Structure 1
Amino acid sequence: MPTILLIAGWRLYFWANENNEPIHIHAEKGDMECKFWLDIDNFEITTALEFNLTPQARREIKKIVYEHFDYIVTEWDKFFKK
């Protein structure tokens, strides 16, 4: 499970066995966890799951994912050799 970013206490990572799923990113900070699908055609993210996120944390992690959207997609492609 490669960690690709550590920002503001958030760890963003992939699970190595999820290459059969669309592009997505997992994030965790303390006891908060979430997963977002990345729609590269429309530059959008959709929440796949979330656990213990406060509204403030949800805004913060979505902003981080949007700010690093292209980097996440590039790292996904490199890791899964797409």
Structure 2
Amino acid sequence: MPVVFRDRGFRFFFYSFEGSPREPVHVHVKGNGIDAKFWVGDEIEMAYNHGLNSRDLAMVMLTIRARRNEIRETWHGHFR
């Protein structure tokens, strides 16, 4: 379960063995009692959200947008 980074009490990561065939690039976010998943393509899209309030959701989306390249590079580096 590679952790890409941590920010403001949230862990941004993905699972090494998730889905067959492998799902498109995405990141899971956990921390402070929340669990969410976001697709990281040309657009950032929420797959699910369990517990993020609107303020934290906006902050997490901005963080993912700002660090999209880091997420993609870590993903592709791990799965190559």
Q: Same fold (TM over 0.5)?
A: yes
Q: Secondary structure at the match of 2:35?
A: strand
1:50 is matched with which residue? 49
1:32 is matched with which residue? 34
Instruction: Supply the RMSD in Å over aligned alpha carbons.
Output: 1.0
Q: Deviations over 1:9-60 (max 9, x none)?
A: 1100011112610000000121111100111xxx311100110110001001
TM-score between both structures, scaled by the size of structure 2: 0.92
1:65 is matched with which residue? 64
**Paired residue type of 2:2:** P
1:13 is matched with which residue? 13
The list of structure 1 runs, each at least 4 consecutive aligned residues, that deviate by more than 4 angstroms after superposition, is: none
- Report deviation, 1:8: 1.0
TM-score between both structures, scaled by the size of structure 1: 0.90
Q: Which runs of 5+ in 2 are unaligned?
A: none
Q: Secondary structure at the match of 2:24?
A: coil
CA distance in 2, matches of 1:80, 1:58: 27
Q: Which runs of 5+ in 1 are unaligned?
A: none
Q: Secondary structure at the match of 1:28?
A: strand
Give the percent of matched residue pairs that are identical in Structure 1 and Structure 2. Answer: 26
**Paired residue type of 2:57:** R
